[in-house]
Amino acid sequence: MNRINQKLKEDKKLLSIYFTAGYPNIDDTTSIIQDLEKNGVDMIEIGLPFSDPLADGPTIQDSSTKALKNGMTTDVLFTQLKDIRKTVNIPLIIMGYFNPMFQYGIEAFCKKCQEIGIDGLIIPDLPVDVYHEEYQAIFEKYGLINVFLITPQTSDDRIRYIDSISNGFIYMVSSASTTGTQSGFGNEQTSYFKRIGKMNLNNPQIIGFGISNNQTFTQATQYAKGAIIGSAFVKHVTNEGIDTIGKFVDSICN
């Protein structure tokens, strides 16, 4: 069974952390992954940086620009991750925009992910219908779970459709926003969380965008299987480097 599905079966609320590969330094990738696992994080999203990250706010934009300047590429990332499964067992997801993967070749990209032991992908600008028509068979051939986003504006019909195509979890974007722009959840969001909860979807939901501390993590996981933290973690590494990851994780969970 895919490590993501296994993890989702565990009887606990999950913490997933996003980081930008190649940031702050080009060679930080494996040590960040190892430290996150060691400190009890449940899932990791490895951000493949892109020059034009449309769905991201300033924090992740800046880290992406810096990572690209540092020399991060798809090939470099794959080389860094070559032996990652010798040291960690945590579910690994690559999150990136479609064009770099498209240039690498979708099949070649998926094949490489399988070789390395990547469990899933999140590609915000690959729409569900294009995925379904053109790429689903390839992803499945290489045992990869593709994760789709829903937002407060997504209609019930479309959520049901996305649920039917998904085979891992659904990434619930907390509010209409780019990453790292919200702080705290109001009534509007909690009623959206409740609405989705009542839909009894086949796939569990994990909430992302706007989770930055213990309070928002606790709030979000009241309504969902887990929560994803991205910008807040990237900010932490920017300010404090990669040696105090344990401190960051503790501040979220406790």
Partner 1 sequence: MKLKVCGMKYQDNIQEVATLQPDYLGFIFYEQSARHFDAHRIPEISNTIKKTGVFVDADLDFVIKKISKHNLKAVQLHGNEAPEYCKQLRGKNIEIIKVFSIKNEFDFSVLKLYDDIVDYFLFDTKGKLPGGNGYVFDWTILNNYPSTIPFFLSGGIGLSQIDDINKFQKSEASKYCYALDVNSKFEIEPGLKNIEDLKKFKNNLTSKIMNYNVNEKGYYGEFGGAFIPEMLYPNVEELRQNYLKIMAEPDFKKEFNQLLKDYVGRPSPLYFAKRLSEKYNTKIYLKREDLNHTGAHKINNTIGQILMAQRLGKTRIIAETGAGQHGVATATVCALMGLECIVYMGEIDIARQAPNVARMKMLGARVVPALSGSRTLKDATNEAIRDWINNPVDTHYIIGSAIGPHPYPDMVTRFQAIVSEEIKWQLKEHEGRENPDYVVACIGGGSNAAGTYYHYLHEPDVGIIAVEAAGLGIESGESAATSVLGKEGIIHGCKTLLMQTNDGQITEPYSISAGLDYPGVGPMHAHLAKTGRAEFMSITDNDAMDAGLELSKLEGIIPAIETSHALAIFKYKTFRPEDVVVLNLSGRGDKDLQNYIDYFKI
Site for partner 1, rule CB under 8 A? 50-52, 54-55, 57-58, 61-62, 65, 68, 73-75, 97-104, 124-128, 130, 148-151, 153-155, 158, 173, 176-178, 181
Between 74 and 219, CB nearer to partner 1 = 74
CA 135-144-72 angle, 5° bins:
90
CB of 202 to partner 1, least distance (A): 18
Catalytic residue among 56, 119, 129, 250: 56
Contact between 220 and 185 (Cβ < 8 Å)? yes
Between 87 and 103, CB nearer to partner 1 = 103
Annotated active-site residue 240? The verdict is no
Catalytic residue among 28, 45, 62, 250: 45
- Secondary structure (DSSP) of 165-232: H-SS-EEEE-SSS-TT---S--HHHHHHHHHHHHT--SS-EEEESS--SHHHHHHHHHHSSEEEE-HH
CB of 33 to partner 1, least distance (A): 21
> What are the residues whose beta carbons fall under 8 Å from the beta carbon of 54, sequence distance 6 or more?
97, 124, 125
CB of 125 to partner 1, least distance (A): 5
Picking from 182, 192, 161, 197, the residue whose alpha carbon sits closest to that of residue 230 is 182
Going 83 to 22 to 28 to 173, the CA torsion angle's sign is: negative
Contact between 196 and 162 (Cβ < 8 Å)? no
Between 80 and 178, CB nearer to partner 1 = 178
Between 19 and 78, CB nearer to partner 1 = 78
Between 35 and 205, CB nearer to partner 1 = 205
Rounded to whole angstroms, the Cα distance separating 116 from 107 reads: 14
CB of 184 to partner 1, least distance (A): 16
Annotated active-site residue 56? The verdict is yes
Picking from 24, 130, 47, the residue whose alpha carbon sits closest to that of residue 96 is 47
Query: Active-site residue numbers?
Result: 45, 56
